[in-house]
Chain A
Amino acid sequence: MLKASNLRKVFTTVRAVDGVSFEIQRGEILGLLGPNGAGKTTCIRIILDILPPDEGVVTYDGRKFSERTRNIVGYLPEERGLYRKNKLLDTILYFAELRGMQRGVAKAEAYRWLQRFNLLSYKDNKVEELSKGNQQKVQFIVSVIHDPTLVVLDEPFAGLDPVNQILLKDILLDLKQQGKAVLFSTHQMDQAERLSDTLCLINRGKVVLEGTVREVKKRYGKNAVHLEYEGDGSFMRSLPGVRRTIIYGNSAELELDDGVQTQALLLILAARLEIRKFELVEPSLQSIFIQLVTAGKDEGTVKRVEVA
């Protein structure tokens, strides 16, 4: 559906996007991950033709972005906002028509979506009279009302309460069921892990990791230990047979070298700490994320984390 190849964008001093490529198919959810300032939003702006790339090509089903494309994409920007002084329904209809919908069809769809979000009774209220969460729902309606083939959501979960996070998650899975391509950006790894089919992790403008969730996990550590303990665990940073250590406080993730005896490791740890939980797991996306991002940021930190 969407293919971005080798995108580059340089702002006066910063290389915001530096050779990013990714692809989304219909019926697939792509999670665009990365720390703040990684270049996620710039990537999104480029694929939506809001910003021209310095280099690189974006194609939709093999064709370049065109007037037709504008009507088959939906977009929820990171910063939330709508015309404050206008009525809900008017606002939704305006954006729907701008995406090429007929007014009559747009109206029927608007009613349907408002109903789904329990907002129908507010349709003649001004946007500013709604709560923040409800405004966000209206904005979401604006991004999907015209039945787009590609839905792009920049940090869709930010600022939503748990109930609405679940509502949104269900709708995204629904969209996937309907065969839409969904691209969403986030820095919440658990969301990405649960929702995405494919991941693309960007750091400092470069793709540092991509693939399906399973592939990624497979590639990054088969042997990891998740540990909960009490005591001073700092010695774990320099244990033999441990490739990487991430300490969260009273818990830690240890990535082991191949062929390490976990029983022996447990003995060493138990001798110095009070162990509450000792579990053999795949590493979480969170740990992969932190590892990759810190690696990019400061080589020194990596060396300290990595144990030979």
Chain B
Amino acid sequence: MNKVFIVARWEYLEKIKSKTFLISLFVTPIIMVTMGILPSIFVTQEDDETKIIGVIDVSGELAGPLTKHLEKEYKLPDGQPNYIVETIPVGKDRNIDRAIEEADAKVLNDKIEGYCIIDFNPPEDTVIEYRSKKVGDFRITYRIQESLQRILSEKKLASMGLDPSVLRELRTPINVQSVRLSTSGEKEDAGFIRVFFSAYIFLMMLFFLIVTSCQLLVRSVIEEKSNRIVEVLISSCSPTELMAGKVFGLSGLGFTQLGLWTLVGLVISFGFGIDLVSFGHALLLIIYFVLGYLFYAAIFIGFGSPVTTEQEAQQVTTYLVLILILPLTLVLPALQNPGAGWIKVLTYIPLLTPTMMALRIPIQTPSAWEIIATILLMLISIYFAMVAAGRIFRIAILATGKRPSLGEIIAWARTG
């Protein structure tokens, strides 16, 4: 036991100082945050100053109502109108070319944000043009579209002799709120986005932790093999102690990383008021996380320890990453139908158990016996995977030269 600790401490302290680890520690969350959260922040970011929108209205009938509508409906946080509309006059000959020229100049000189050309004939021709330096601003185009839709509908109703307020009634929005039922009878709000993110973040963390740890492990095995340090190690402690030490050291490393990320995650979720998972769920998720980590770690040791060169290490890592990607591809279908029979079946494949449970728990917590059964299943799988990995490790760390075939590795794993 003591020697396991010495190996674990060495692996931990040595790796925590390595560049690979530090990079993955800081870069990974940055990538995750950038990919997952920033776009939604930018999309929902409100304008903070009034924008001037130009309108070239050929009919001369829509500019007025559009101006009124936009100014009335959309306000800045400080109560000022979000948009002010500037009408760009069209000559009596109805030639819009000059007006366009003038508007273009204004846009390019930043006098106006952009302008739209209302030159259409609904219901046959329904396209209007919005020109701006920033064509990616979906919000403006959407709002102009909305406003014109309303204006045209009201006009139509008026021409049919109906009160435009009918329209308001008709357009009262209906929201569907999904409420999650659990056996205890409590009702809970379960936003799809929220569940999706909690499961996705779980998987991404598992993915990155395992990949980083695996690379560190394989690299350290390669170094020890290539300079024969491993012989001194194996004459100092048993292969089982050595492997256990490595697993604990690298797990410690993984969980250090996880702890730091969780902290960052908590700060972010408090900062932005995103409530990802409840405490009870978090506990279960952590259990499955640890189980998943250990199971994958055993697989990685088994297939990583026979490697003798960096090149082979890369190949092996690639294959193993593919095993990890498989659960990621199942996230969406599983989320859409967490109760489906095939999802339940997949839950009992040890490679997928942690993922599937991570997906199912926030949506529709599986029954207690399912949780117990899967945890037991994982524990048994980890035991056998570790035993097999230990057998492979024993032989593989002394083997140099030609890489053993898959058949040989399996044979090592079977015969203790």
Contact = CB atoms under 8 A, between A and B. Distances in A.
Interface stretch (B91-99, B225-233, B369-377): B225-233
A50 B398 contact: yes
Contacts of B232: 75, 77, 95, 142-143
Nearest to A67: B238
B149 interface: no
Nearest to A45: B231
A48 B231 CA distance: 9
Interface size class of A (residues with CB under 8 A): 20 to 34
Does more than half of chain A's interface fall in helix, strand or loop, or is it mixed? loop
Interface in B304-354: none
A86 B17 CA distance: 10
B235 A73 contact: yes
Interface in A30-51: 45, 48-51
A259 B179 CA distance: 111
Nearest to B5: A97
A97 B6 contact: yes
Contacts of B236: 70, 95, 98-99
A81 interface: yes
Interface string B396-409: 00100000000000
Contacts of A79: 227-228
B398 A98 contact: no
B174 to A, nearest CB: 64
A83 B231 contact: no
Given A51-B398, A94-B6, A78 B228 contact: yes
Contacts of B223: 83-84
B10 A94 contact: yes
B234 A50 contact: yes
Contacts of A49: 234-235
A80 interface: yes
A57 interface: no
Interface string A51-92: 100000000000000010010010101111111111000000
Interface of B: 2-3, 6-7, 10, 14, 18, 223, 226-229, 231-238, 398
Interface of A: 45, 48-51, 67, 70, 73, 75, 77-86, 94-95, 97-100, 142-143
Smallest CB-CB A-B distances: 4 pairs: A81-B227, A98-B236, A79-B228, A48-B235
Given A67-B238, A70-B235, A77-B231, 15 more contacts: A45-B398, A50-B398, A75-B235, A77-B228, A77-B232, A78-B228, A79-B228, A80-B227, A81-B226, A83-B229, A84-B223, A95-B236, A97-B6, A98-B237, A100-B2
